[in-house]
Amino acid sequence: MKRLVLWAPLAVFAIFLAVVAIGLYAPSDRVIRSQMIGRPLPAFALPEALPGRRAVSSRDFATGQPRVLNIFASWCVPCIAEAPLLLDLKARGVPIDAVAIRDRPQDIARFLARWGDPYRNIGLDADSRVQLSIGSSGVPETFVIDGEGIIRHQHIGAITEGDIDEILAAYEAAR
Amino acid sequence: MTHGLHSSSVRRRHVPRENVRTVRFGLLAAFALSFAMPVEADSLLPPAEYADQQLSDPRQEAEAKALMETVRCLVCQGQSIADSDADMAGDMRALIRRRIEAGEKPEDIRRWLVERYGNWVTYDPPLEPVTWPLLLAPILFLAGGAWLARKRFRRRRR
């Protein structure tokens, strides 16, 4: 018993080292998921992002049909990478609304003219208010919202070809 | 750098618009930037009102500041939003000041943020089964240490 107690501090230290080593070598997950999945989209009404283009408001959702909400910005490089994939989703009949974060109308217009315009309505979120209210922590992010206005799915980061199925599945499941 | 950091850092980088000539360049830039260290500068918009401007009521400003120091920045993880220059941290400061000015309680704002981002977002974690070890561990270690050392004390006394 006494011998055992003698070794206890070393054993504790070994456990401590093991915990540190695991923490150092395991790939850390720095993605912060929204806690709003399964909860209703908070109420908001954004101003229009482009003259003459319908803006986005929470009332557009909960109309019986699921919709995709894309958080993007003209100053966001990965948003360029996901543009063709959003066009692909649009071609498959997925309605996509956009929230432009901290953006200017002229920049949005230039971005859409250059990389394609997959969006139905676009709202301007100049101070990230809507982004914060839905628990999004960066651009781009994509949310699937079901016909009752419940947030069903969050995709963090640019959509790549491998993510299309996941988003389509979430969209179908939200029907 | 870990994979997680790559993906989270790359989607917030800013590259001057004139540099992005083609999709290929854009992708290349995104790829290259995934190896870059975090830099500030995202949007071209100026900071939101109240991002860097204090509230006129010093008592409210003190409340807001105290809350900001215990709310974690989502973009520059490891900094509080009071310390961060990121656009999003500025928007979060503006949100906090706006709500404090409107008479909301700091703890209600914290709860609102935790509802959206989880306990991750607060530097002042609530006492929950998951966080018990945080508070219990030091007490347990002290108790364990005292228990280990108890014989030494006794021996010395004899």
Q: For residue A120, give how far its alpha carbon lies from the nearest alpha carbon of chain B (Å).
A: 23
Look-up: residue for tokens 């900001």? B68
Cα–Cα distance between A101 and A108 in angstroms, integer? 10
Q: Is pLDDT larger for residue B127 or for residue A100?
A: A100
Encoding tokens for residue B36?
Answer: 């870059």
Distances (CA, A) of A172 to A46, A65, A82, A143, B26: 27, 10, 20, 13, 31
Q: Is pLDDT larger for residue B152 or for residue B41?
A: B152
Average pLDDT of the residues in B72-85: 91
Which residue of A10, A32, A74, A77 to mutate against B (max B Cβ within 10 Å)?
A77
Q: Supply the ipTM of this predicted assembly.
A: 0.86
Look-up: residue for tokens 């190896």? B35
At A125 the three-state DSSP class reads strand
Indicate the pLDDT class of residue A8, thresholds 50, 70 and 90: confident
Has residue B12 got a pLDDT over 70? no
Q: What is the pLDDT of residue B30?
A: 57
Average pLDDT of the residues in B38-56: 79
Indicate the pLDDT class of residue B43, thresholds 50, 70 and 90: confident
* Phi, psi (degrees; rounded to nearest 5) at A161: -55, -35
Average pLDDT of the residues in A105-109: 95
CB B30 within 8 A of CB B10: yes
Cα–Cα distance between A74 and A126 in angstroms, integer? 12
Encoding tokens for residue B45?
Answer: 């918009």
Is B45 within 8 Å of A102 when comparing Cβ atoms? yes
Cα–Cα distance between B95 and B104 in angstroms, integer? 11
Indicate the pLDDT class of residue B1, thresholds 50, 70 and 90: very low
Average pLDDT score over chain A: 94
Residues of chain A in contact with residue B44, where contact means CB-CB under 8 angstroms, are 75, 104, 107
Q: For residue A66, give how far its alpha carbon lies from the nearest alpha carbon of chain B (Å).
A: 21
User: Hey, what amino acid is at B54?
Assistant: Q
Cα–Cα distance between A70 and B135 in angstroms, integer? 40
Residue of A nearest to B112 (CA): A133
Lowest pLDDT segment from A89-103, B54-68, B123-137:
B123-137
pLDDT digits 0-9 by tens, A63-83: 999 999 999 999 999 999 999
Residues of chain B in contact with residue A132, where contact means CB-CB under 8 angstroms, are 91-92, 95, 113, 116
Side by side, the strands of the sheet bearing A67-72 are A122-125, A96-101, A67-72, A141-145, A151-156
Q: Is pLDDT larger for residue A137 or for residue B27?
A: A137
Q: What is the pLDDT of residue A83?
A: 96
Cα–Cα distance between B117 and B15 in angstroms, integer? 28
Is B4 within 8 Å of A28 when comparing Cβ atoms? yes
Has residue B18 got a pLDDT over 70? no
Average pLDDT of the residues in B73-99: 93
β-pairing verdict for A141-145 and A122-125: unpaired
Has residue B23 got a pLDDT over 80? no
Cα–Cα distance between B103 and B107 in angstroms, integer? 12
Cα–Cα distance between B46 and B131 in angstroms, integer? 39
Is B42 within 8 Å of A127 when comparing Cβ atoms? no
Q: What is the pLDDT of residue B109?
A: 97
Has residue B17 got a pLDDT over 50? no
Indicate the pLDDT class of residue B157, thresholds 50, 70 and 90: low
